[in-house]
């Protein structure tokens, strides 16, 4: 998909999260590989070659970078490293996963999304091109629908006195539990002072007054990266 779509869809799914800025970086990161491709096409290829012929003369490492950044294998390795070094950044990696998922059906041929690269270096699905106006129209229409739904959801919550959990809360809670089954014990002194020993972030409590007794501290998004 185009970079703008990646950014907007990520914004939809990470709205109101403390790690939304980091998520935006991860949403754009995979297309850093495409930036290298464009730099070669614009600056590095012989003048007489068109775009298609330039692909054949392009240094192989550029496509290796492109494929690697669109691979769940790379994402998995990075996720393990992040989990060990900075677990509170882990939810932001979901934006990277979303980017790959969005690209799988809408890229083909040399830019086909090798989502299992390098384990299966030539495995990809050939779908519609993201440049097809029907794909772009459907994507932006869906974007508007989802955005509108979330806005209305938020508005109704502001208006209601008792906040009830809905299906989105349950998904978030489930995902949070997978990532962080136990409360993060924040090891950094300053953060502990600010947030308490549970690692829970103020302002991100998904439970209303009626659920507060059952609200596990380990099912919430980790604190914002410093
Ligand atoms: Zn991409």
**Spatial separation of the C-alpha atoms in residues 221 and 14, rounded to whole Å:** 11
- 216 and 110 in a common domain: no
Same domain, 125 and 41: yes
In a domain, 142, yes or no: no
**Within-domain flag for 102:** yes
d(CA 108, CA 124): 7
CA–centroid distance, residue 30 to ligand 1 (Å) = 5
Given a contact cutoff of 8 angstroms between Cβ atoms, the answer to whether 133 and 28 are in contact is no
| Judgement on whether residues 116 and 198 belong to the same structural domain of the protein | no
202 to each of 77, 185, 187, how far by Cα in Å? 30, 15, 18
Is residue 57 included in any domain, yes or no? yes
8-29 confidence digits (pLDDT tens): 999 988 888 888 899 999 999 9
In this structure, is residue 146 part of a structural domain?
Answer: no
**Residue with tokens 């609200």, as numbered in its chain:** 215
Report CA(69)–ligand 1 centroid distance (Å): 8
pLDDT at 180 (0 to 100): 64
Of the candidates 205, 219, 209, 216, the residue with the CA atom closest to the CA atom of residue 171: 219
Kindly state whether residues 99 and 37 are assigned to the same domain. yes
Distance 100 CA to ligand 1 centre (A): 6
HEC assignment per residue over 117-139: CCCCCCCCCCCCCCCCHHHHHHH
Between 131 and 79, name the one with better pLDDT.
79
Q: Are residues 85 and 8 in the same domain?
A: yes
Q: Residue 203: which domain range?
A: 163-226
The residue out of 111, 130, 149 marking a domain boundary is 130
Cis preceding linkage at 118, omega within 30 = yes
Q: Looking at residues 60-80, what average pLDDT do you find?
A: 95
pTM greater than 0.75 (yes/no): no
90-117 residue pLDDT tens: 999 999 999 999 999 999 888 899 999 9
**What is the structure's pLDDT at 201?**
44
Number of structural domains the chain divides into: 2
């Amino acid at each position: 998909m185009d970079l703008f779509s990646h950014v907007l869809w990520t914004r939809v799914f990470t709205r109101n999260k403390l790690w939304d800025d980091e998520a935006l970086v991860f949403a754009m990161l995979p297309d850093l590989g495409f930036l290298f491709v464009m730099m070669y096409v614009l600056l590095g290829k012989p003048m007489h070659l068109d775009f298609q012929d330039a692909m054949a003369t392009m240094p192989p490492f550029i496509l290796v970078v492109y494929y690697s950044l669109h691979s769940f294998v790379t994402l998995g390795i990075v996720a393990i490293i992040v989990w060990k070094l900075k677990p509170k950044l882990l939810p932001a990696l979901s934006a990277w996963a979303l980017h790959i998922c969005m690209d799988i059906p809408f890229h083909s041929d040399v830019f086909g999304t090798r989502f299992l690269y390098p384990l299966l270096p030539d495995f990809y699905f050939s779908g519609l091109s993201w440049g097809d106006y029907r794909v772009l129209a459907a994507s932006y229409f869906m974007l508007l629908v989802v955005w509108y739904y979330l806005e209305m959801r938020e508005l109704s919550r502001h208006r209601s006195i008792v906040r009830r959990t809905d299906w989105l809360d349950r998904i978030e809670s489930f995902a949070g539990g997978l990532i962080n089954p136990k409360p993060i014990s924040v090891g950094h002194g300053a953060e502990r002072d600010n947030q308490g020993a549970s690692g829970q972030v103020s302002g991100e409590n998904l439970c209303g007054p009626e659920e507060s007794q059952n609200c596990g501290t380990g099912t919430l998004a980790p604190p914002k990266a410093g």
